[in-house]
Amino acid sequence: MTDWLARLAAECRATGNAELLADLDALAYQLVETTDDAVGHALVAARLDAVRSELARRERLHAAVPTLSDPRAPRYEQWRDLARQVRERHAGILDLLDGSYGPFRRRGSDEYHGPCPHCGGSDRFIVWPGPTGRFWCRRCGCRGDVIDAYRLVRPTADFHAAVAELAADVGLPAPEAEAKRPPAAAPATDRLVLTSFGGVPIGPTAAPASESETRP
Ligand SMILES: [Zn+2]
């Protein structure tokens, strides 16, 4: 767990200001979404803590050395706001994931089940489509929104490229200068997937008995 937290902190240190700010919104949403899932909730809370700590560290650095970038500068907030609008307006999360990892099959009125891009299977990965669409894997616990889905499907796209592309889909212009930045070093697929939390396994042994798929 300590090791996971250290890797989480390192991951945040390697993340750009705009993406960290956007993560505040995405994780705040996930925190509400996971109120009935103690392990998932704790994982999201830990990630949110790490993002807040890293932003606070950068704010202190900027205060001490003003030539260092201010993580709360308007140019970063602009991207955060665009990411927020993309999440609210873009309705293509299911098409994105189905095109690369499908087939996804409809279950009930508003969810689709299919293989997990991280841990495979056939129906453990759940997608709730539409604007504010999201995904979650019952086995490895990965979760995310349309921006995360885009970066799963196109691992070389960094945060800015993903948001700019999705924004264009819904007719929103991206801030010019940032959109031309080269891709970040760490692709989204390197995001940490935890197998246990506080001694509670959330890996393969933690899958609900109701899962109908058969594993080799
Ligand atoms: Zn998974």
In a domain, 213, yes or no: no
In a domain, 209, yes or no: no
Neighbours of ion ligand 1 (CB under 5 A): 116, 118-119, 137, 139-140
CA atoms within 13 A on the CB side of 107: 15
Domain count, the chain: 1
Taking Cα atoms as reference points, which of 95, 73, 103 lies closest to residue 175?
73
Q: Considering the domain boundaries, does residue 141 fall inside one?
A: yes
Instruction: Determine, yes or no, domain membership for 122.
Output: yes
Assign 71 a pLDDT band (cuts: 50, 70, 90). very high
Instruction: Tell me the residue range of the domain where 60 lies.
Output: 2-196
What does the pLDDT look like over 38-64, one tens digit per residue?
999 999 999 999 999 999 999 999 999
For residues 156-177, give the mean pLDDT: 92
Indicate the Cα dihedral angle 177, 50, 137, 208, nearest 10°: -170
Residue 130 scores a pLDDT above 80: yes
Please tell me the distance from the alpha carbon of residue 33 to that of residue 135, in angstroms, as a whole number. Answer: 11
Ligand 1 center to residue 201 CA distance, Å?
Answer: 14
pTM, two decimal places: 0.81
Find the 48 Cα to ligand 1 centroid distance in Å: 21
Evaluate whether residue 206 is within a structural domain.
no
Q: Tell me what the mean pLDDT of segment 134-142 comes to.
A: 94
In the prediction, which pLDDT does 194 show? Answer: 54
Residue 212, domain member (yes or no): no
Provide DSSP, the chain.
-HHHHHHHHHHHHTS-HHHHHHHHHHHHHHHHHTTT-HHHHHHHHHHHHHHHHHHHHHHHHHHHSTTS--TT-HHHHHHHHHHHHHHHH---HHHHHHHHH---EEETTTEEEEEETTTEEEEEEEEE-STT-EEEETTT--EEEHHHHHHHHSTT--HHHHHHHHHHHTT-PPPHHHHTSPPPSS-GGGS---SEETTEE-SGGGS-TT------
Instruction: Identify the CATH number of the domain in which residue 114 sits.
Output: 3.90.580.10
- Tell me what pLDDT residue 102 has: 85
Q: What does the pLDDT read at residue 175?
A: 87
- Give the Å distance between the CA of 69 and the centre of ligand 1: 36
Is 211 within the bounds of a domain?
Answer: no
For residue 39, is it within any domain? yes
Region of poorest pLDDT, from 86-90, 133-137, 139-143, 205-209: 205-209
| Cβ burial, residue 95 (10 Å; 0-12/13-18/19+) | middle
CA of 115 to the centre of ligand 1 (A): 8
